[in-house]
Amino acid sequence: MVQGLATIVSLREGADVSAVRRALMARGQWVRPLGFDARGAMLLALEAHSAPVAREELASIDGVASVQQPESAHPLLDAQRDRVLSIGPLAFGPPGRGTAPALIAGPCAVESEAQIHRVAEALARMGVRALRGGAFKPRTSPYAFQGHGERALAWLSSAGRAHGLAVVTEVLAEGEVSLVAAHANALQIGSRNMQNFALLKAAGAAGLPVLLKRGVAASIEEWLLAGEYLLAHGAASVLLCERGVRGFDPSTRNLLDLGAVAHLAYARGLAVLVDPSHATGRRDLVLPLARAALAAGAAGVMLEVHDDPASALSDGPQALDPAALAAALTGGLLASGRDGVRA
């Protein structure tokens, strides 16, 4: 079903309209009368935010003549339903697939060779298996630290190899895709580039798994279509990452949309990653929202971790230090979780 477009139900002549409406509402459908078609059949629209119900089940309701569900515009992304995605040794599964919650951690930016090795070592010691870190940073201000670029990629991949960690890093520009791909197990497309279609095509063509951040004002349908671009151009898989959308309240950096996470995980059967670091911008809220994300059906979380957050060149206020992450892991952060049951 295409989000944003309604399903249209047409009724048989003489159907008991209120019985049909009750049967639809009993199945979680938001029903809106649409009038009559040219042949006089009564039409009902089922709003896109209705519960997902198979066409056959709707068609079997007494009094229903036909059901038209809009064709999906992202068949390749839909085909990831129920699939366990992988990045290096990490498995990201939708609820019900029995995968443990996965963790990707690391600094916002790769700041020096020594820093990324220190963080990687600390992460490996606490059992983390995937390392993040930006070499090319998409900063709001042109005067802010832009990342160390190619040198940082080499530091990052060597730290990953040295400590047995898979590497995820952002690619900002089409012309840098093969360079970044040579150093990473998965490419990251950042929020600001979610609809940079030229970049999506080039990143897909690298054939790696892609971690696709949600744009700050992107609808779920636009996000899924961005994922379709990647898959249509050759990406091995697309791991959707919710990182907060533009909210109206300044007390958090963004507004973490856990409704979207539950929808994607439970209604669409997709593996979803959640980044509570960029969603909140606040270290004190990162762990509570990481737990909430897993409870909402996320396949895993991505957390920013810096060995000295106070001196970080970017996003220090949201970074956990390794001791805080180690304590959270010991305290069962990744044991919190999903009921494994689909609606």
- Strand, coil or helix: 177: helix
**Strand locations in 143-287, DSSP E?**
166-170, 186-189, 209-213, 237-242, 272-274
Structure tokens at 236: 């091995």
How is residue 215 annotated by DSSP?
P
Interaction between residue 294 and Mn ion (CB under 5 A): no
Q: Provide the minimum distance between the beta carbon of 134 and ligand PEP in the complex, in angstroms, as a whole number.
A: 5
Quick check: 265 binds Mn ion (CB under 5 A)? no
The residues, any chain, with a CB within 8 Å of residue 169's CB and separated by 6 or more, are: 110, 132, 133, 134, 135, 153, 156, 180, 183, 184, 187, 188
The CB-side HSE value for 105 (13 A sphere, CA atoms) comes to 32
Q: Which residues contact 9 (CB under 8 A, 6 or more apart)?
A: 20, 24, 43, 44, 45, 46, 58, 64, 66, 67, 68
306 binds, among Mn ion, ligand PEP, none (CB under 5 to 8 A by kind): none
Give the separation between CA 227 and CA 82, rounded to whole angstroms. Answer: 16
Residue number, 228 or 315, with CB nearest to Mn ion: 315
CB-wise, 88 or 269, nearer to ligand PEP?
Answer: 88
Residue closer to ligand PEP, measured from CB, 134 or 276: 134
- Smallest distance from the beta carbon of 275 to ligand PEP, in angstroms? 6
Smallest distance, ligand PEP to C-beta of residue 261, A: 14
Residues 6 or more apart whose Cβ sits within 8 Å of residue 171: 136, 177, 180, 181, 187, 188, 189, 199, 203
- Taking the complex as a whole, the smallest distance from the CB of residue 170 to ligand PEP amounts, in Å, to 6
Buried residues in 289-304 as b, exposed as e (16+ CB within 10 A): bbbbbbebbbbbbbbb
Residue nearest to ligand PEP (CB): 190
Contact (Cβ atoms closer than 8 angstroms) between residue 50 and residue 8 = no
Which residues, listed in sequence order, are joined to residue 242 by a DSSP beta bridge? 274
Q: Which is nearer to ligand PEP, 24 or 278 (CB)?
A: 278
Q: Which strands make up the sheet holding 64-68, listed edge to edge?
A: 31-36, 42-46, 7-11, 64-68
Does residue 108 belong to the site contacting Mn ion (CB under 5 A)? yes
190 binds, among Mn ion, ligand PEP, none (CB under 5 to 8 A by kind): ligand PEP
Q: Which stretch binds Mn ion (CB under 5 A): 66-74, 103-111, 265-273, 294-302?
A: 103-111
Specify the residue, 23 or 312, whose C-beta has the smaller distance to ligand PEP. 312
How far apart are the C-alpha atoms of 193 and 238, rounded to whole Å? 15
The DSSP call for residue 83 is P
Nearer to Mn ion, 310 or 341 (CB): 310
Q: Is 110 in the site for Mn ion (CB under 5 A)?
A: no
Among 172, 315, 322, 325, binds Mn ion (CB under 5 A): 315
With beta carbons less than 8 A apart as the criterion, state whether 88 and 185 touch.
Answer: yes
CB closer to ligand PEP out of 67 and 241: 241
Residue 152 interaction partner, one of Mn ion, ligand PEP, none, beta carbon < 5-8 Å per kind = none
Q: How far is the CB of 201 from ligand PEP (least distance, A)?
A: 19
Q: Binding residues for ligand PEP, per CB under 6 A?
A: 108, 134, 138, 170, 190-192, 213, 243, 275, 278
Q: How far is the CB of 17 from ligand PEP (least distance, A)?
A: 47
Minimum CB separation from Mn ion for residue 138, in Å? 9
- Least distance from ligand PEP to the Cβ atom of residue 140, Å: 9
Interacting partner of 258 out of ligand PEP, Mn ion, none (Cβ under 5 to 8 A depending on kind): none
Q: Whose Cβ is closer to ligand PEP: residue 48's or residue 216's?
A: 216
**What's the closest the beta carbon of residue 137 comes to ligand PEP, in angstroms?**
7
Residue with token string 């530091």: 155
Contacting positions for Mn ion (CB under 5 A):
108, 315
